[in-house]
């Protein structure tokens, strides 16, 4: 049986990583085969690209970011996503094309249409069954990132950047299909309950 592809998107500090781990455990307890992965960094080449992209020592043009992410995505789609889905796994992925649309298309000013053209080959090969877009107000997000000691190149951007990212995810969650937006200012368990309902609706 063909698997499912569920992508978690959202602004940094929204709790994606925490929710993915809880969902992975939840689905495995229900008897599903589950693979958890991320972009960038879901392959060996992707891991190296991730380190370069997030290194605060480097300043980088938005198009350079988009092209590096596309290279990561090519390796990821070919070597992780397609094989797992074809083997019947539920794939939980931390970020996919919507992140490129928001961060590079909207925030970096490359343009949504340009990012979609660049990434069209990947969505032709593997299209998410569901995008769960987790968002939290920028001031809350920044506080969470500071408390967690996050220091990568995107985490330490200013409040204007984080506000644009937040608004971008709000915009794309309304514009694109198969997107469900969940605000994450409640407790972890309250958010998890909402996430599980969306996933159960898909799988049932």
- List the binding residues: 10-17
3-state class (DSSP) for residue 91: strand
User: 138-147 and 159-175 are packed helices; what angle lies between their axes, rounded to 10 degrees?
Assistant: 120
Specify binding-site residues for ATP. Answer: 10-17
Alpha helices (H) along the chain: 16-29, 44-54, 62-76, 82-86, 97-100, 112-125, 138-147, 159-175, 188-203
How far apart (Å, rounded) are the C-alpha atoms in residues 204 and 183? 24
Q: How far is it, in rounded angstroms, from Cα 140 to Cα 133?
A: 16
The rounded radius of gyration (Å) of the Cα atoms in the chain is: 16
130 phi and psi, to 5 degrees? Answer: -160, 135
């Amino acid at each position: 049986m063909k698997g499912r592809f569920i992508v978690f998107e959202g602004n940094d500090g929204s709790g994606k990583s925490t929710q993915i781990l809880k969902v992975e455990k939840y689905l495995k307890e229900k008897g599903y085969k589950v693979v958890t992965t991320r972009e960038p960094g879901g392959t060996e080449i992707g891991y190296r690209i991730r380190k370069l992209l997030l290194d605060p020592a480097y300043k980088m043009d938005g198009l350079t970011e988009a092209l590096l992410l596309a290279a990561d995505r090519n390796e990821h789609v070919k070597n992780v996503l397609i094989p797992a889905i074809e083997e019947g796994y539920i794939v939980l992925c931390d970020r996919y094309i919507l992140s490129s649309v928001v961060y590079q298309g909207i925030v970096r000013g490359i343009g949504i249409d340009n990012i979609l053209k660049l990434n069209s080959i990947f969505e032709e090969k593997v299209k998410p069954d569901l995008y769960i877009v987790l968002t939290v107000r920028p001031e809350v997000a920044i506080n969470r990132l500071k408390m967690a000691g996050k220091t990568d190149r995107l985490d330490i951007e200013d409040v204007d950047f984080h506000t644009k990212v937040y608004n971008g995810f709000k915009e794309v969650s309304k514009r694109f299909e198969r997107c469900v937006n969940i605000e994450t200012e409640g407790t972890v368990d309250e958010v998890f309950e909402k996430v599980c309902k969306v996933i159960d609706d898909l799988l049932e």
